[in-house]
Amino acid sequence: MKIIKYIISDIIRNKIMLAYTVLLLAISLSVFNLEDNKAKGLLSLMSVILIVVPLVSIIFATIYIYNSAEFIELLVSQPLKRTRLLLSVYSGLAISLLLAFLIGSGIPVLIYSPSIVGGVLIAVGMGLTLVFASLAILASVLAREKAKGMGIAILLWFYFSLIYDGIVLFILFQFSDYPLEKASIVFSSLNPIDLGRVVILLKMDVSAMMGYTGAVFKEFFGGNWGSIYSGGIILAWIVAPLYLSVRRFNRKDL
Amino acid sequence: MERFVQVILCLCLPWMASGKTWHVRQAGTGHPIQHALDLAAPGDTILVDKGIYTEKGLVIRKPVCLRGIDWPILDGEKQYEILAVSANDVVVEGFHFQYSGVSGWHDIAGVKIYNAHHVTIRSNILDHTFFGIYCLGSSNCTLSGNTIHSDADNDIQSGNGIHCWKCDSMRILDNEITRHRDGIYFEFVTHSLIRGNRSFSNARYGLHFMFSHNNVYERNLFRHNEAGVSVMFSHGVTMLGNTFTENWGGSAYGILMKEITDSKVIGNHFLNNTSGIYMEGTTRILVTENTFSGNGWAMKIQASCSDDVITRNNFNGNTFDIATNGSLVLNTFNANYWDKYEGYDLGRDGIGDVPYHPVSLYSMIAEKNPTVMMLYHSFMVGLLDKSEKVIPSITPEALRDDKPFMKPLRLP
């Protein structure tokens, strides 16, 4: 617990974290003030959140872990379980990133558009923060050098926000003669950003989603089971990288 | 003036010519209404008291006025056609028709008009009839203020609410039609006025017509029909101030127009449909002063359409404004308001200085392959759309609005 507290107080004083909070706040406020249509404002905010939140979460967390490598080495020499240590580092990072996100985007959404869609948007943003902080831990455990770790982190972000969608688009066109509605549910589960976007868009009732594909999605993700399913998938995306990094970290020769 | 005189004549005919008024009092065994109809002379009025009448197929063969008091029930016992009219100048009003027969062979109806003119069916309730009001080869008939309700679940075991075949100069006014196959169905119907009807929750189309020329559709509401509204193979269609709303689904359209020529679509509202207007093979259609709002696709115009003019419409909050399936553009888009327009107006004349391209790349992709909607609003799709906007390569360059309005038009 002491480690978590220490990390949080360390990060909060960090200027980058402050800048991140102010950036989110500025984007959210300007989006809601520029658009007189609240639904459109939420849509623009969603596009920004789906890009910025994963990017900042993964890069900041990776940099932070490399910068505090000496601190972590010091703690490893203490009578502390390594699993516990890494999870504390993750918790500290996650809590402070969540705090920044909630202040930067949560409060404006609460003020300007306190609706179910807004709530889902914030929930998705929080989920993505946790997922990408977890991926950052994995990246920094995998590589010893800072440059390599950063490379992995950026590549992961790039993969999830761009490359993956390109591959899916390619597959959807190559196999367009086959019914791919069910497959597209699987595709969206394999990428937390896509999953988050689909969940938000379904809550927004964007009309073009109401075609056959949309109907399949709505049936699957729309009900309570859909919410539980998507929550479970996001949780899996948080736990799986953490598990892998803990396993790796326990055997790692520091 | 001519029409006015016609209406007055029609209203007054029973009284002008009538000598007698018959009163059917007792609901019971036998066929009291048919008996009265047989005794009555042309021009007489028959009043029917409240009650349940099972007449097993009433037929009106002479010009009389049949009027119900407090909605007497005419019951078809789920076997018979309830009322047939085969004379001119007949008035039927104030009845409650229920439970006609259902048949896949005969088109059994609540009220059927056979080859007659100047028949008026008004202020009736039709409940669970197979077809509601069915007109065959008739002209100058008025169907007004009827409430027509059934319980169709699919489009196979059900009939149409108002069905007209080979008719002319019909007036269909202020009816409410729900849960039938097609709300209003026309085939070979000409010079008719369809005004103020509400057609919703039907198993197929709210309005469906083919080969029906020179008709006027005014201020009707078509809401939440399984496949929207579909009109085909007609010319001289005028649609004024109708509302098409909440038609959801892959093949549901606010209005689907196929092979329609020389027609006008003016001042209509298309709200929250999967596709507002779908046009295929249409020629010389004027689409103006309409409001498109909250639709998935405001308009889908296939490349087979030509000489259509789309001007002075408001496009507001649609996912995609226009979609098309080819690069050939033979239609004119001019002076509309598009909420997605990002241009500027240096001259301050309310008209944007750069053209607007209403077809986005992704709407063309989604048109070909609907599953890709899964990636809608993703970063990559945004990049694709932006790069296509800068250098159009796939979207038709000619499909553009050269004088887009900066602010929404004031439309009724």
pLDDT tens digits for chain A (254 residues)? 788 888 888 888 888 899 999 999 999 999 888 877 777 788 889 988 999 999 999 999 999 999 988 888 888 888 888 898 999 999 999 999 999 999 999 999 998 888 888 999 999 999 999 999 999 999 999 988 999 999 999 999 999 999 999 999 899 888 888 888 888 889 989 999 999 998 888 887 665 555 666 777 777 887 788 889 999 999 999 999 999 999 999 888 77
Calpha distance A197→A193 (Å, rounded): 6
B387 touches chain A (CB under 8 A): no
Give residues 146 to 185 of A whose Cβ lies within 8 Å of B.
161-162, 165-166, 168-169, 172-173, 176, 180-181, 184
Chains A and B: how many Cβ contacts under 8 Å?
A: 95
How many residues are present in chain B? 412
A213 touches chain B (CB under 8 A): yes
- Is B266 contained in some domain? no
Asked whether the ipTM of the predicted complex exceeds the cut of 0.90, the reply is no
Calpha distance B193→B53 (Å, rounded): 33
The residue of chain A nearest to residue B316, with distances taken between CA atoms, is A37
- Is B264 contained in some domain? no
- Give me the torsion for CA of B252, B253, B257, B262, rounded to 10°: 170
Residue identified by tokens 């929550």 is A231
For residue B273 the two structure tokens come to 């449909």
The H or E element that residue B195 is part of is strand B193-195
Which residues in chain B are closer than 8 Å to A40, comparing Cβ atoms?
A: 317
- Nearest CA-CA partner of B369 in A182, A165, A176, A183: A176
B173-214 pLDDT tens trace: 999 999 999 999 999 999 999 999 999 999 999 999 999 999
- Is B364 contained in some domain? yes
Which member of A46, A165, A173 has the closest CB to residue B380? A165
Number of domains, chain B: 1
The H or E element that residue B24 is part of is strand B21-24
- Is B78 contained in some domain? no
State residue B12's pLDDT score. Answer: 43
Calpha distance B112→B159 (Å, rounded): 13
- Nearest CA-CA partner of B268 in B295, B249, B250: B295
Residue identified by tokens 């075949």 is B165
- Nearest CA-CA partner of A131 in A241, A253, A209, A37: A241
Cβ neighbourhood burial of B221 (10 Å; 0-12, 13-18, 19+): middle
Q: Which domain holds residue B381?
A: 360-395
DSSP one-letter code for B214: S
Give residues 40 to 59 of A whose Cβ lies within 8 Å of B.
40, 43, 46-47, 50-51
Contact B375 A168 (CB under 8 A): yes
State residue A4's pLDDT score. Answer: 86
Residue A18 CA to its chain's centroid (Å): 19
Q: Where are the domains of chain A?
A: 2-251
Q: Where are the alpha helices (DSSP H) in A102-211?
A: 107-112, 116-142, 146-158, 164-174, 181-189, 192-204
For residue B297 the two structure tokens come to 């696709």
Enter the pTM of the model: 0.81
- Nearest CA-CA partner of A101 in A199, A201, A25, A47: A25
B407 touches chain A (CB under 8 A): no
- Is B381 contained in some domain? yes
Longest dimension (CA), chain A: 61
Which member of A46, A166, A208 has the closest CB to residue B380? A166
Which residues in chain B are closer than 8 Å to A215, comparing Cβ atoms?
A: 249-250
B337-379 pLDDT tens trace: 998 888 899 989 999 999 999 998 888 888 778 788 888 888 8
Residue identified by tokens 């490349």 is B303
State residue A205's pLDDT score. Answer: 64
Q: Where are the alpha helices (DSSP H) in B22-111?
A: 32-39
- Is B273 contained in some domain? no
- Is B373 contained in some domain? yes
pLDDT-derived band at B3 (thresholds 50, 70, 90) equals very low
B4-53 pLDDT tens trace: 434 444 444 444 444 688 888 865 667 889 989 999 999 999 999 998 89
- Nearest CA-CA partner of B399 in B321, B313, B312: B321
Residue A229 CA to its chain's centroid (Å): 17
Calpha distance A155→A136 (Å, rounded): 11
- Nearest CA-CA partner of B127 in B83, B169, B97, B86: B97
State residue B2's pLDDT score. Answer: 44
CB B214 within 8 A of CB B170: no
